[in-house]
Amino acid sequence: MRLASSLAAFVLAIAVPAGAEPPTPAPGTIAPVSAAQAALGRHLAELGDLNAILGFAGHAEIERAATTTPGLTDAERARLRQVGERVVGAQRARILDVAGNVYARRFTAPQLRAMIAFLESPPGRAYVGALPQLLPQVAAAMEGVDLGRDVRAAFCRETGKLCETH
C-alpha cells in the first residue's frame, strides 16, 4: 500500500469515532477560520501523530529508494537522500497546513489548546517521540490484515453474498 493511501486510511480511522460519519459541509458553506484559530490548528498538526507518521514514512520511503535502486553510486545515493528530504519536507509542510486547517475547523480553541498542552507535556512528548519506534512494531503486527476481506468473508458466511469465488 502506498504512503498516501496508508496515511489517508489511518487519518480517517483515527479522525472519525467508531460508528460516526464524518461531517460533510454543504458546498460553499465553509467559513474561514481566524488567524489565531488557524495557528492553533497548525501548531497541533506540528506536534501530533500525523507529523511523526509523515516523518517516519517519508524517511522510510527515501531509505527504501536509496538502498534498493540498482546502479547508483554512493554519491548518487547521498544525493537521492538530499533530494528526498527536500521533497518530503515540502510535502510534509503542505500536509501539515491542510491538517492544521482541518483541526482548526473541527475543534474549538479551548480544545486545541488542551490537545497542544498534552502534546507539549512530558507524557505527550514521550508518546509522540515513541511513535517512530512503535510504528514498525504496529505495522509488523498488522501484516496480512485486510479488514475489507474479513468483513466480506463474515458477511458471506451470514448471508451467502459478497463471497469471493477464487
State percent of the chain over pLDDT 90. Answer: 66
Residue 26 pLDDT: 54
In a domain, 14, yes or no: no
In a domain, 80, yes or no: yes
Kindly report the backbone phi and psi dihedral angles of residue 99, in degrees, each rounded to the nearest multiple of 5, phi listed first: -60, -45
The answer as to whether 87 is a domain residue is yes
Residue 77 within a domain: yes
Q: What is the mean pLDDT of the chain?
A: 85
Q: Is the pLDDT at 17 greater than 90, yes or no?
A: no
pLDDT at 129 over 60: yes
* Counted domains in the chain: 1
* Segment 123-152 mean pLDDT: 90
Please check whether residue 122 lies inside any domain of the structure: yes
Q: Are 96 and 51 in contact (CB under 8 A)?
A: yes
Helix (H/G/I), strand (E/B), else coil: 14: helix
CA distance 148 to 136: 22
- Average pLDDT of the residues in 96-102: 96
Q: Is residue 147 one of the residues assigned to a domain?
A: no
In a domain, 59, yes or no: yes
Q: Is residue 101 in some structural domain?
A: yes
Task: Give the per-residue pLDDT at 139.
Answer: 85
Print the domain residue range for 53.
Answer: 33-132
Q: Which amino acid makes up residue 119?
A: L
Gap between the Cα atoms of 86 and 94, Å rounded: 13
pTM of the model: 0.68
User: Residue 117 above 50 pLDDT?
Assistant: yes
